[in-house]
């Protein structure tokens, strides 16, 4: 881990459900990544019909200015620009008849596009 990354305090900016953490840890292990160092990067990027969209990917280690959240054994890396958009959000894993995957429940969202893939904040 980079020594400059910021560890989140007892009130993390992003929460992760137990199911989401289990799914992500299984995927991380399947990629051969060390779950003690590597983690899931949650970020916000420009895109989609509502203006912003979430991105998820695995990273070997956090960047120096990342906030690192430890949640249910999963390390989550959030860059400073994304943190403003997702502070207070919860990462969930949902499975259903038509689809399964990660979903961000974000209290900062004021509107979403019709397909739910992009969002806008105030």
When the pLDDT of each residue in the chain is averaged and rounded to a whole number, the result is 84
Q: Is residue 109 included in any domain, yes or no?
A: yes
Total number of domains in the chain = 1
* pTM tops 0.85: no
Given this model, what pLDDT does residue 12 score?
Answer: 81
Residue 31 domain flag: yes
For the stretch 66-85, pLDDT in tens is 999 999 999 999 999 999 88
So what's the pLDDT on residue 117?
A: 62
Has residue 1 been placed in a domain? no
Q: What is the torsional sign of CA 105, 57, 65, 17?
A: positive
Residue 58 burial class via C-beta count within 10 angstroms: exposed 0-12, middle 13-18, buried 19 and up: middle
For residue 18, the enclosing domain spans 6-121
The CATH number linked to 19 is 2.60.300.12
Phi, psi (rounded to 5 degrees) for 24: -65, -40
Question: Collapsing DSSP states into helix, strand and coil, what is residue 121?
Answer: strand
Residue 102's pLDDT is 92
Four-CA torsion 30, 83, 112, 75, nearest 10 degrees: 20
Phi and psi for 10 in degrees, rounded to 5?
Answer: -70, -15
Average pLDDT over residues 27-31: 95
């Amino acid at each position: 881990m980079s020594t400059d990354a910021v560890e989140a305090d007892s009130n993390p900016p992003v929460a992760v459900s137990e199911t989401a953490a289990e799914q992500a840890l299984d995927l991380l292990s399947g990629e051969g990544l060390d779950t003690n160092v590597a983690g899931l990067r949650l970020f916000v990027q420009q895109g989609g019909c509502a203006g912003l969209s979430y991105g998820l990917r695995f990273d070997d280690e956090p960047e120096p200015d990342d906030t690192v959240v430890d949640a249910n054994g999963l390390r989550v890396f959030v860059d400073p620009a994304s943190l403003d958009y997702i502070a207070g959000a919860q990462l969930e894993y949902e499975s259903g008849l038509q689809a399964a995957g990660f979903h961000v429940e974000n209290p900062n969202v004021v509107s979403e596009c019709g397909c739910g893939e992009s969002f806008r904040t105030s």
